[in-house]
Structures are given as structure tokens and as C-alpha cells.
């Protein structure tokens, strides 16, 4: 029997409740009012509604915790050591183009390190979750990273820099190196789900440049609790601070990291 902690139960309940409105909006995506907030980066009415719902549910359960929100920014609480790090709609561009690949991501970061995470894909009803020391799961099934040991057997996911994102030339150098040695590279447009898929053994690895804490906080703990590794590919920095992330199974994280240092 799986015993979920109080925090995980709160996170899962908040994600499921917020997802109801997201599913309604996805069915009427052409009717959404969309405003542009930066080159290639859009915020929809759906993002704002989901973020509001998540914040209300989590604050009700843990009134002292702080927040770091994609849309709302940092919100200080009485407890600065515990921070809810939330992406209400990871894969906004997919969502706005009616591409059915997006997720709600909720991470709980304590003193700078993720200790619990939930990533929910409402269209497939896959609830990826993990808590430090308790393993990683999708719904009620235990997750484990892939056991593949060879790069030429491996599928690696990435995020391609779009207009306004940093280091396109560096990314192209990294991509060439990974293409030369892997079984394939995939780009689906939702970093949280890329990390969840590494944890589930669907990918052997993932890397991306210039991400934000809300993109990766939940996924980091889920990969680690599934037996994988997550780091910055440039050195000892915390990916939550640097935004540069590489994740992989226990056999391929190191060689993938070495490839990315270009």
C-alpha cells in the first residue's frame, strides 16, 4: 500500500482541482484571450486561472509557506524556507496550438533544494509525484529510470531555444554531439514532462539551456527519487539557480554531461 505524505496529498489534490478548468479551456482553446509577454512566450487566461486555483489550495493547506510563481513571481510567506514553485501550465505554446502535451508542475523547495514534486498531465491522467526518501511514482506505479547503458541505444530529450532564448549557437553544438552518438533526440515542448519521462524510463536523458525554477523544481526530485541524476552541465551550480540542466539515468548522466560541455 502506498502511503502519501500530507504534503503530497495536498499537491495532488490541488493539481487535480486546477486541472478541471484547464481541460475546459483546452477544449475551447480558440476562444482564449491571449496576451504576448515576450518573444515566443505567451501567457493565456488559462495560465492565470490555474495559478490562482493552485495558490488558493496550497495556501489553505500551508498558510505560512512562500511561493515562486511563473506568472505571479515571488510571494513571501511567514516561512521563507519552504517555497511552492509552480508552473501552472508548462507547455503553454503547445496548449495554445491545440497540441495535447502540457502539464501542471508543483515543486516544494526547502532551503534551495526540491524535496517534493508533482507533475500532472491532465489529458492522459498521469500524475507523476515524488518526495525525498519515498521514491517516485506515476499514479500508483513505482518509477525507475531506464537501465540502458549505451548512448547509441538511448533517446535523449531537449528543448530547442526559440526567439529570445539564450545560446542558440551553443545549443546547436550540443545537439550535433548528441545526434552523433544517440539513437535519437526528441523535442516535445514541456520541460517538466521531459524530466518525468526520464524518471519513467521513457528517455535516457534530457538537457536544456536557460530554464526557470518552475520548469524543473518538481522534475528534479522525481528523477532523483527514480534513481537518476540531475545537475548543471557546466559545473557544481544548482540548476534552479543557473537554469542549465542535464538529467539522466545512473549510467548515462556522466557521459551525457561530458558531451554537453561545449
Give domain 151-260's CATH number out of 3.40.50.720, 3.40.190.80, 3.40.350.10, 3.40.50.970: 3.40.190.80
> pLDDT (tens digit, 9 = 90+) per residue, 51-63?
999 999 999 999 9
Quick one: pLDDT at residue 180? 97
Mean pLDDT for all residues in the chain: 93
> pLDDT (tens digit, 9 = 90+) per residue, 144-190?
999 999 999 999 999 998 877 767 899 999 999 999 999 999 999 99
Residue 30 has pLDDT above 80, yes or no: no
Q: Which superfamily does CATH assign the domain made up of 6-142 to?
A: Fructose-1,6-Bisphosphatase, subunit A, domain 1 (3.30.540.10)
Residues 6+ apart with CB under 8 A from 69: 51, 55, 75, 86, 88, 214
The domain segmentation of the chain, as residue ranges, is: 6-142, 151-260
* Rounded-to-integer distance, Cα 35 and Cα 208, Å: 26
Quick one: pLDDT at residue 199? 98
Collapse the DSSP code of 86 into the 3-class scheme (helix H, G, I; strand E, B; otherwise coil) and give the result. strand
Read off the DSSP letter of residue 134.
S
Is the model's pTM score more than 0.85?
yes
Quick one: pLDDT at residue 39? 46
Residue 5 has pLDDT above 50, yes or no: yes
pLDDT tier, 26 (very low <50, low <70, confident <90, very high otherwise): confident
Amino acid at each position: 500500500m502506498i502511503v502519501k505524505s500530507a504534503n503530497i496529498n495536498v499537491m495532488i489534490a490541488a493539481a487535480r482541482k486546477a486541472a478541471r478548468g484547464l481541460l475546459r479551456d483546452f477544449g475551447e482553446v480558440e476562444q482564449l484571450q491571449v496576451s504576448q509577454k515576450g518573444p515566443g512566450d505567451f501567457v493565456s487566461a488559462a495560465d492565470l486561472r490555474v495559478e490562482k486555483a493552485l495558490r488558493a489550495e496550497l495556501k489553505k493547506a500551508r498558510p505560512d509557506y512562500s511561493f515562486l510563481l511563473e506568472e505571479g513571481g515571488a510571494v513571501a510567506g511567514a516561512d521563507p524556507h519552504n517555497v511552492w514553485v509552480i508552473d501552472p501550465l508548462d507547455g503553454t505554446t503547445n496548449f495554445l496550438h491545440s497540441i495535447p502535451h502540457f502539464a501542471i508542475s508543483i515543486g516544494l523547495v526547502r532551503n534551495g533544494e526540491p524535496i517534493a514534486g508533482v507533475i500532472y498531465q491532465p489529458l492522459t491522467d498521469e500524475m507523476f509525484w515524488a518526495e525525498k526518501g519515498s521514491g517516485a511514482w506515476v499514479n500508483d506505479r513505482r518509477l525507475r529510470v531506464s537501465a540502458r547503458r549505451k548512448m547509441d541505444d538511448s533517446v535523449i530529450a531537449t528543448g530547442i531555444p526559440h526567439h529570445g532564448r539564450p545560446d542558440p549557437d551553443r545549443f546547436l553544438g550540443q545537439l550535433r554531439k548528441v545526434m552523433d552518438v544517440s539513437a535519437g533526440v526528441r523535442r516535445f515542448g514541456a520541460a517538466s514532462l521531459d524530466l518525468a519521462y526520464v524518471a519513467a524510463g521513457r528517455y535516457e536523458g534530457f538537457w536544456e539551456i536557460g530554464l526557470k525554477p518552475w520548469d524543473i523544481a518538481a522534475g528534479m526530485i522525481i528523477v532523483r527519487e527514480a534513481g537518476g541524476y540531475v545537475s548543471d552541465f557546466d559545473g557544481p551550480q544548482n540548476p534552479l539557480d543557473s537554469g542549465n540542466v542535464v538529467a539522466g539515468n545512473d549510467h548515462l548522466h556522466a557521459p551525457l554531461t561530458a558531451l554537453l560541455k561545449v
